[in-house]
Amino acid sequence: MRMILFSSRQYDVDTFNEANTAFKYELHFQESHLDADTAVLADGYDVVCPFVNDTVDAATLERLHAGGTRLIALRSAGFNHVDLAAARRLGMPVVRVPAYSPHAVAEHAAGLVLALNRKLPRAFARTREGDFSLNGLLGFDLHGKTVGVIGTGIIGRCFARVMAGFGMRVLAHDPGPESPEVLALGGRYVPLDTLLAESDVVSLHCPLLPSTHHLIDSRALAKMKRGAMLINTGRGGLVESNALVGALKSGQLGHLGLDVYEEEGGIFFEDHSNLPLQDDVLARLLMFPNVIVTAHQAFFTREAMTEIAQTTLGNVKAWREGTPRNVVEAPAKG
């Protein structure tokens, strides 16, 4: 069984090689991003393993199929970067890692809340320079404030539990069934506009779908409590990036924590420190003192990486044995 992992870095090599001692597949680690031009590198590989910013569109899938690839094994939970209709047409199943460590992402989101509220990066930079003053570092008690959780799946529920631990009141919005766990925390399901209007902290934990694209746009930002905090560890496309700058400049948005960014492809996961940043919106966002951007690292814990590697290789094994699991359902038509 030959498998090629695109966009792989040393940490992928380490965790996949360790997990592979139980499977003994032939793994090939490729640093390149996957797209229609680089798909040729997968010729002769039965299984292709893309990462979140790879381009798995129809042209890429067709080229992979022509080269002999028969399975797309995503090493992520999100699958918005895959043309599922094209994969279905080509008869190539797409499998994913539906849950690895919800704690990793929920804890990172909580970390962004704390770092923004208590201005920890600024405080750290100051004390390192011998500046022990407190001007500009005033925060607020999370206790007694309201957190709005958009999407109460595996990660959103975990995040709600963490924030309830700080004594926050939980509001939730999800078109799916209400979670008994969220209700048990004292959480209340409300329409999106109510959540936006009443929350001091709004955190996004829903998938990127056509229906959630730009869920937070200028209209939604205007409905938020003035000075509230927005956290996005979901997917960049959930937020209309262009609308953020104006909301931050006017003070309507008080704090912003992004682990994902709409145009992160080609930027995140790479070292661009010697180059001028080409994305003007991202460059502007990075200038605000009340903004923290992390480069899609919320999933990045030892436990999550181990689980991702084991589940991905287990998915390949199940497919080989004719009992595929964790298959992403393709749309009925198209």
Q: Judged by CB under 6 A, which of 117, 212, 241, 311 binds ligand NAD?
A: 212
Beta strands in 160-200 (DSSP E): 169-173, 188-189
**46 in contact with ligand NAD (CB under 6 A):** no
- For the chain, give the longest Cα–Cα distance: 64
Is 173 in the active site?
no
Nearer to ligand NAD, 60 or 203 (CB): 203
**Order of all β-strands in the sheet with 94-95:** 26-29, 2-5, 47-49, 71-73, 94-95
**326 in contact with ligand NAD (CB under 6 A):** no
**259 in contact with ligand NAD (CB under 6 A):** yes
Is 33 in the active site?
no
Which window, 7-15, 200-208, 241-249, 316-324, contacts ligand NAD (CB under 6 A)? 200-208
Catalytic residue among 103, 235, 262, 307: 235
Nearer to ligand NAD, 60 or 76 (CB): 76
Nearer to ligand NAD, 208 or 239 (CB): 208
**244 in contact with ligand NAD (CB under 6 A):** no
Is 70 in the active site?
no
C-alpha–C-alpha distance, residues 169 and 144, integer Å: 6
C-alpha–C-alpha distance, residues 83 and 90, integer Å: 11
Which window, 66-74, 124-132, 195-203, 296-304, contacts ligand NAD (CB under 6 A)? 296-304
**105 in contact with ligand NAD (CB under 6 A):** yes
**328 in contact with ligand NAD (CB under 6 A):** no
**78 in contact with ligand NAD (CB under 6 A):** yes
C-alpha–C-alpha distance, residues 238 and 204, integer Å: 8
What are residue 159's phi and psi, to 5 degrees?
A: -65, -40
Catalytic residue among 33, 81, 88, 264: 264
**265 in contact with ligand NAD (CB under 6 A):** no
Q: Which helix (H) or strand (E) holds 14?
A: helix 10-19
List the interface residues with ligand NAD, window 149-188 (CB under 6 A): 150-156, 173-176
Give residue 140's identity as a one-letter amino acid code: F
C-alpha–C-alpha distance, residues 163 and 166, integer Å: 5
Q: Tell me the per-residue interface mask from 216 to 235 with ligand NAD, x by CB under 6 A, - otherwise.
A: -----------------xxx
Among candidates 238, 239, 146, 152, which has minimal Cα distance to 196?
146
Q: Judged by CB under 6 A, which of 19, 206, 231, 248 binds ligand NAD?
A: 206
C-alpha–C-alpha distance, residues 77 and 23, integer Å: 22
Angle between helices 102-117 and 120-128 (to 10 degrees): 60
**205 in contact with ligand NAD (CB under 6 A):** yes
Nearer to ligand NAD, 46 or 307 (CB): 307
DSSP states along 98-153: --S-HHHHHHHHHHHHHHHHTTHHHHHHHHHTT----TT------TT-EEEEE--S
User: Catalytic residues, which ones?
Assistant: 235, 264, 296
User: Where do contacts with ligand NAD occur on this chain (CB under 6 A)?
Assistant: 77-78, 99, 105, 150-156, 173-176, 205-208, 211-212, 233-235, 259-260, 296, 298-299
